[in-house]
Amino acid sequence: MISLKSDQLKSAQCKNELDEFEVLLKKHSEIDEVTLLDFFKSRPQLILLMGRVVGVDAPKKFNDELPLIGKFRADFVVASETMREFAFIEFEDAKDNSIFKKKVNKKTSVHSWASRFEKGYSQVVDWFLHLSVHNKTQSMKSEFGHYEIKYKGALIVGRQSSLSRGDCNERFEQRRSKSLIDSKHIKCYTFDELYEAMADQYTILASF
């Protein structure tokens, strides 16, 4: 069975880790994937809050670098206490060319999708298709404790500033809002958008 740690969101600790994330983003215009992974791995409150952003309403369980039914690996997994709701999350780097290439394609006059984005997006596609094959099977129950789970997948990649070129922002929005894999959207966030969404969720949680 998938191995998960248990914790819960704690207001003061969550705010401290969220503030550290904001500082990281403001201090560096570009951040490599390993740095981002290590940063989040040492901050469980950020992982849980990220899971809430992606779609787990009451995140209580989490871990990093976990295999999904023996074939693919997710950078982060967040789950509800009952392990019936899951968020599977993929990180790529946060650079100016992570989502679109900087140079305009001379034949089409548009910025081409970057290999880092396509790699991460394809990874989440593979998760969805792999999980759909095993839905309602013994493999699913052995891995997650249930024959059927609710799950969402997310790709976190790039910086918001890189989307200001040409029609990049419009195409990024269309890609994440109109593409369906096994009737599911792949949630895509820049790291700046992730921070903003996490800050919004923290404000909601802190009000209770």
For 99-154, write each residue's pLDDT tens digit.
999 988 777 789 999 999 999 999 999 999 999 999 999 999 999 999 999 999 99
Q: Report CA torsion sign: 17, 55, 121, 134.
A: positive
Q: Residue-wise pLDDT tens for the chain (208 aa)?
A: 899 999 999 999 999 999 999 999 999 999 999 999 999 999 999 999 999 999 999 999 999 999 999 889 999 999 999 999 999 999 999 999 999 999 887 777 899 999 999 999 999 999 999 999 999 999 999 999 999 999 999 999 999 999 999 999 999 999 999 999 989 999 999 999 999 999 999 999 888 7
pLDDT for 1 equals 87
Q: In what order do the strands lie in the sheet with 85-91?
A: 5-6, 59-68, 72-80, 85-91, 150-156, 186-189
Unique residue bearing structure tokens 């890189």: 162
Domain count of the fold of the chain: 1
**What's the chain's length in residues?**
208
CATH code where residue 119 lies: 3.40.91
pTM of the entire structure?
A: 0.95
Domain residues for the domain of 193 are 5-206
Contact of 92 with 155, CB cutoff 8 Å: yes
Unique residue bearing structure tokens 């890609």: 175
